Amino acid sequence: MPGWAKCPKSVARQAFRQVREWIGAEQNQTGIAEIHGGSLFSYDHLLSQVSASLRAEGMIAAEAQIVAQAMVDAQRDESFSHGIYRLLGVIRSMREKPTWGRNEPKIRRVAPGIVLADAADSFAPYAFHLAMPILVEAARSQGIAALAIRNCLHLSALWPEVEPLAREGLSALAMTPNHAWMAPAGGTRPVFGTNPIAFSWPRPGRAPFVFDFATSEIARGEIELHRREGKAAVPGWGLDADGNATNDPAAILAGAMLPFGGHKGSALAAMVELLAASLVGDLLSRDALAEDGGEGLAPRHGEIVIAFDLARFATGATVDGSAAAEAMFADIAAQGARLPGDRRYAARARSEELGIWVSDALLADISTLTGTEWGRSAPDDFQHQNKRSATSPG
């Protein structure tokens, strides 16, 4: 089974029951050695393999490292629809577009509180990575600052961007359009992208409060995974090309997704189009899809990230806003409710201890596309898991 790595026996004995519930592991004399339909990788090894695959397609080395990290971080957090699966689309897009992933973004601070990044057909995480230090400094000096990214290529979720900002002590809000895949509430034809919105809030001594959700009923990647795995879609996810409700993932992908919450999700999707496309001077989702011309490549669009400095906003305040926020979070948890981000943080801790799971089907698809097989991790790699990624809990 290409690419899987054995966990140390001590780790296997300690956590076998948890992993069995997680992905269905069978134990033999080596510990966790047979994972149903998948393989375990150390963070460093998986990052190296993904980065090498991107460089082999001509992506500049610095961008390859950041783009690979975005995918590996999502895979580590069990956000599989935004994880290594995205490598397939990135490679196909780069093969069709010889300039994509091969240019350096241009970053400018055009006003005290506005940072502009021309991604120059690089993938969004790389443009954000280069612009983030300037955005942080602008937010701290002005109290609030915005980063407008143009001409970037869609890749991943937005939490890998707002979470690092929270670890800098800032609250952050990010949003982006993509391709017009979603109908407005009451409509049957796509107008909006899935148009995700992400938010983060720093917590002293704790992992940040983070949410990241599409304004569609479900992320498009989840529908694609259901199609790949032969699973039926959940009623309410979307319509077929004739505007009829369907639970066929392929029919939804060819038809229209639906917004969550009816008119509320539809209104939020429209807001994302206006702020992350019209405001930053880039394409609306419908125009980005038209530019694609049916090739099915990575969406090319804009993004906006707004950062807030809590200390600046608290000037002269008589209420400790951070303490009040913690009291609210405690009240939520006391009722048995889960805070947004908790599932990912739990998955992250599990992956850092036991390894990052990748399905054999996906590994086979990657091997077919690239003509290579990813090598094995050394057996002791899991004792040296790299926890230094930008989104690791600190």
Query: The CATH number of the domain where 203 resides is what?
Result: 3.30.1370.60
Residue 249 located in a structural domain:
no
- pLDDT given for residue 377 in this prediction: 58
Residues 70 and 156 sit within 8 Å (Cβ to Cβ): yes
362 plus 263 within the same structural domain: no
**Among candidate residues 295, 313, 331, the one where a domain is terminated:** 313
Rounded to 5 degrees, φ, ψ at 15 are -120, 10
What one-letter code names the amino acid at 114? I
121 plus 165 within the same structural domain: yes
166 plus 303 within the same structural domain: yes
Residue 62 located in a structural domain:
yes
Rounded to 5 degrees, φ, ψ at 256 are -150, 135
- pLDDT given for residue 380 in this prediction: 52
133 plus 41 within the same structural domain: no
Query: Over the chain (394 residues), what is each successive 10-residue block's mean pLDDT?
Result: 37 37 35 59 96 97 98 96 94 96 97 98 98 98 98 93 98 97 96 96 96 93 89 95 95 96 97 98 96 93 97 94 97 96 96 93 94 69 46 40
Residue 334 located in a structural domain:
no
Residue 87 located in a structural domain:
yes
Residue 136 located in a structural domain:
yes
209 plus 302 within the same structural domain: yes
The residues assigned a catalytic role are: 81-82, 222
- pLDDT given for residue 229 in this prediction: 87
- pLDDT given for residue 270 in this prediction: 98
- pLDDT given for residue 135 in this prediction: 98
Residue with tokens 């913690």: 326
- Its pTM stands at 0.86
Task: Count up the domains in the chain and report the number.
Answer: 2
**Among candidate residues 269, 297, 313, the one where a domain is terminated:** 313
141 plus 265 within the same structural domain: yes
Residue with tokens 């906003």: 313
Question: Which string of DSSP letters, residue by residue, matches 296-339?
Answer: ----EEEEEEEEEEHHHHTTT-SS-HHHHHHHHHHHHHHTTPPP
Contacts of 46 (CB under 8 A, 6+ apart): 72, 75, 84, 356, 358
Q: Which domain holds residue 186?
A: 107-216+259-313
> CATH number for the domain including 75?
1.10.1530.10
Residue 319 located in a structural domain:
no
Residue 44 located in a structural domain:
yes
What's the gap between Cα 52 and its chain centre?
A: 20
265 plus 378 within the same structural domain: no
The DSSP 8-state label assigned to residue 373 in this structure reads: -
Rounded to 5 degrees, φ, ψ at 48 are -65, -40
63 plus 191 within the same structural domain: no
200 plus 270 within the same structural domain: yes
**Among candidate residues 313, 333, 355, the one where a domain is terminated:** 313
Residue 369 located in a structural domain:
yes
Residue with tokens 């961008």: 63
350 plus 276 within the same structural domain: no
161 plus 126 within the same structural domain: yes
For the chain, the residue count is 394
265 plus 185 within the same structural domain: yes
